[in-house]
Amino acid sequence: MWNCDWEYENQETLRQWYEEKLAGIRPNSIVRKIICKGCGRDFYTLIETKKYCYYGLCGNRGYQKDLKQRRLEKRQNRVCKGCGKVFTPKRSDAVYCCNACRQRAYRQSVTDKASDQIEHLQ
């Protein structure tokens, strides 16, 4: 049995050890209380680097949450090419803050291309 399996099955014992540590009965105990990054519940552990209650259950879910947050932070505070307003896009490749700005830019580019062709013919 792996250490993480034992911890997952013996949470009540670890909680008791943690409370004894706080009360001063076991001052040198290494038990610590964490909040699982996958499911958000309290979990007691002896492992110093642990982030999830059970890696097989919450590890991937927690990683995906963290990845989503990092991607959101990365794309914040973009400047719209149409109106110059600062916005946070829903997509990573967004350039305009709204459909109106995107459509306005498209119509302007179509008009510019048409006028260039007319000037070239004259």
Question: Does 68 share its domain with 86?
Answer: no
Q: What whole-number distance in Å separates Cα of residue 67 and Cα of residue 58?
A: 14
Question: Does 49 share its domain with 105?
Answer: no
Question: Does 64 share its domain with 101?
Answer: no
Question: Does 66 share its domain with 87?
Answer: no
Reported confidence tier of residue 121, pLDDT bands at 50, 70, 90? low
pLDDT tens readout for residues 24-48: 998 888 899 999 888 888 999 988 8
pLDDT tens readout for residues 89-117: 988 889 999 999 999 999 998 888 777 77
Q: What whole-number distance in Å separates Cα of residue 84 and Cα of residue 79?
A: 6
Question: Does 46 share its domain with 15?
Answer: yes
Question: Does 29 share its domain with 65?
Answer: yes
pLDDT tens readout for residues 52-101: 887 778 888 888 888 988 988 888 889 999 999 999 898 888 999 999 99
